[in-house]
Structure 1
Amino acid sequence: MIRPLREADKAEWLSLAEGYKAFYNTPLPAGKYDVAWSRLLAGDGVHGLGAEFEGRLVGIAHYLFHTSPWAVRVCYLEDLFVSPPARGKGAARELIHAVGGAAKAAGATRCYWSTHEDNAEARRLYDQVARHAGFIRYDYALRNSGEPDRPPPPGRVSDSCLGDSMTEARTTLPAQFMVIARTLAAEDPGVSIGADGKKGFGASALKVGGKIFAMVSSDGAFVVKLPKGRVDELEAAGQGRRFDPGHGRLMKEWLALDPGSSQDRLALAREALRFVGGAR
């Protein structure tokens, strides 16, 4: 059942909202969730719907209306999240249709939303209920000083290129890799990403001291550089395979994780960073 959010939903809404923000690595202080909740209940420029299943709130949708030079009213679906155990039961589809219905009732001429380009599970649904118009979004960071934000130096991992979900959504790398990149860059200022105009091997890789220690291969595999013995151990455990850069010659110190690997990718990236950057 899809219905408006109500006061009694706060605890379950908070769990879902935190799950949504964690997915995009944009957690908020508790006070900001309280403010958002109050605004949603009051309809203070934003609106919220919930998907209820067997007496529990299992999904949420937040939306708002705005104007434009070309339309008096447009509807933007800001947030959509369904708890993992409840997925595949139609909640997300029904939430989208409910927001669309609210948009029609309000006289909006368009209803749209955005998602991460690597959010394949969600995009399979979106392709069924809507049309991808091909637009690319950029976010201009606003500073309290009023000064325009300068882009980071080429190849450098920084908060301005990794800090929020919509900026991450415009990268060419998987979301999880970008979260790892941001985390390691915050922990070690020597970490950078990319290879300044280089194409092919290592073009979008994590580096330390100019040396690659982790990357995403052309087929989407998470690849790390580790001691040969450690690669042997992980391969024997069925967690991955030696990396083949494409010429049929396996690299002894490079492991490509299997998609179903149980290994913690951030922990492996830290291990690779220590291995490659240990001589600094």
Structure 2
Amino acid sequence: MSRLADLRFRAATTFQRRVGNPILRRLPLQTVLETTGRISGLPRQTPVGGRRVGDPFWLVSEFGEKSQYVRNIKADPRVRVRGRWHPGTAHLLPDDEVSLADWDSMLVASVRENGRDWIPAMGNSDAHRSPDPVGSPQTVVLADDLTREAIQEGIRAGRSYIAESKNVSLTFTASGGRGRQAGIGGRLEVDRDTPVTVRLEATGAPRCTVRFVTDQGVLFTSAPLPVSGSGVVEWRTTPSYAAYVRAELRHEAAVGPLPGALAAFTNPIFLGRP
């Protein structure tokens, strides 16, 4: 960190600690994160922004691992979160997982607020020079042909998925009613109580698990795919139960409650009539 950046960091954190945080903690609707001081052992309360997605509460640390509450969490992950106080265990995640949770929140809002647009997900390698790898990850676009216009239209419509490499391939569909079927980025227009079969075919993903994520959260997690990396996973639902479904392909998880790293994920298929 440069000298100027360090001075700005010190000034911002000093203001927050002495002025901003004491005021915000008194506001009844302010979310507050309580950690245990890694040196003092005393409760430390920090006003935070964030949102609940399913059961977990997600937040982004403004200063990353330099934040005092992040340092406290590294020493003791037991925390409490206030609206009403809820005890829990904090887990520090890569930025990608936080971005994914934020995107999920946008998808939920799009189906619960009539007329709100949704933004398709995209991925790229962000490679600028050798030896940075190109195409890890990559966005696979389902386009009518290889013209620029067709590819751009596929991206805008959300007919795409993100994979960690060219080795991973997905086919994701939803079917129901009288032979109706929709693919990634599409809508399966059937009645609310019509049974729907969601199907994911995957290759190049040995021992990965499949998760189906909806506006209600993660509703299905498969057993690991075989070591060949190929498999088919199906799940049944209705539009009244899930307004959309998207698929995730994840590597085997390390020890603990968190899911494994992403190998691929799709844009959603929307279920039911608009």
TM (norm. structure 2) is: 0.22
User: Which structure: greater strand fraction?
Assistant: 2
Greater helix proportion: 1
